[in-house]
A and B are shown apart, each in its own frame.
Chain A
Amino acid sequence: MDKETVISVKDLTKKFGNFTAVDHITLQVRRGEIFGFLGANGAGKTTAMRMLCGLSLPTSGTGTVAGYDILRQAEEIKRHIGYMSQKFSLYENLTVWENLNLFATIYGMSAKRIKEKTDAVFRALGMENMRNVLVKEIPLGWKQKLAFTAATLHSPDVVFLDEPTGGVDPSTRRKFWEMIYRASSEGMTVFVTTHYLDEAEYCSRISIMVDGRITALDSPAGLKRQYHAGTMDEVFRIVAKDAKREN
Chain B
Amino acid sequence: MKNVIDIQNLTKRYGELVALDHVSFSVSEGSLFGLIGPDGAGKTTLYQILTTLLSPDEGSAAVAGFDVVKDYRKLRTEIGYMPERFSLYPDLTVDENLHFFASLFGVKVKDNFDLIAPIFDQLKKFPNRMAGALSGGMKQKLALSCALIHRPKVLLLDEPTTGVDAVSRSEFWGMLATLKEKGITILVSTSYMDEAERCERIALINKGRILDVNTPGRLIEGMDRNLYNASSKDMYPLLEAVRTLPDVKDCYTFGATLHITANDGFNPDDAVSKLRQKGLEDARIWPAKGNIEDLFIKLAKEDG
- The contact of B165 among A171, A184, A246, A247, by CB within 8 Å, is A247
Type the 1/0 row for B263-304, where 1 means its CB is closer than 8 Å to any CB of A.
Answer: 000000000000000000000000000000100110011000
Evaluate contact between B236 and A185: CB separation under 8 angstroms: yes
- Complex Cα distance A139/B255, Å? 25
Type the 1/0 row for B242-267, where 1 means its CB is closer than 8 Å to any CB of A.
Answer: 00000000001111100000000000
Residue of A nearest to B253 (CB): A174
- The contact of B138 among A168, A181, A246, by CB within 8 Å, is A246
Evaluate contact between B159 and A167: CB separation under 8 angstroms: yes
Distance of B47 from chain A, by nearest CB (Å):
14
Chain A stretch 156-208: residues in CB contact (< 8 A) with chain B? 163, 166-174, 177-178, 181-182, 184-185, 195-198, 201-202
Q: A113 contacts the other chain (Cβ, under 8 Å)? A: no
Evaluate contact between A196 and B192: CB separation under 8 angstroms: yes
Contacts of B191 in A (CB 8 A): 167-170, 173
The segment from A36-44, A64-72, A121-129 found at the interface with B is A36-44
- The contact of B38 among A172, A202, A243, by CB within 8 Å, is A172
Residue of B nearest to A184 (CB): B236
- Complex Cα distance A197/B164, Å? 12
- The contact of A167 among B163, B236, B256, by CB within 8 Å, is B163
Distance of A17 from chain B, by nearest CB (Å):
13
Evaluate contact between A86 and B39: CB separation under 8 angstroms: no
Contacts of A236 in B (CB 8 A): 165-167
Give the number of chain B interface residues (Cβ < 8 Å).
Answer: 38
Contacts of A196 in B (CB 8 A): 192
Evaluate contact between B164 and A170: CB separation under 8 angstroms: no
- Complex Cα distance A246/B84, Å? 22
- Complex Cα distance A233/B195, Å? 13
Q: B83 contacts the other chain (Cβ, under 8 Å)? A: no
- Complex Cα distance A45/B279, Å? 39
**Which residue, of A39, A195, A202, A237, has the highest number of chain B Cβ atoms within 10 A?**
A195
- Complex Cα distance A236/B125, Å? 26
In the A-B complex, the 8 residue pairs with the smallest Cβ-Cβ separation, listed nearest first, are A42-B135, A167-B162, A198-B255, A169-B38, A41-B136, A171-B300, A247-B137, A181-B236
Question: Could you show 15 A-B contacts with beta carbons less than 8 Å apart?
Answer: A41-B164, A140-B38, A163-B163, A169-B38, A169-B191, A169-B300, A170-B191, A171-B252, A171-B296, A181-B236, A182-B236, A195-B165, A198-B255, A240-B167, A246-B126
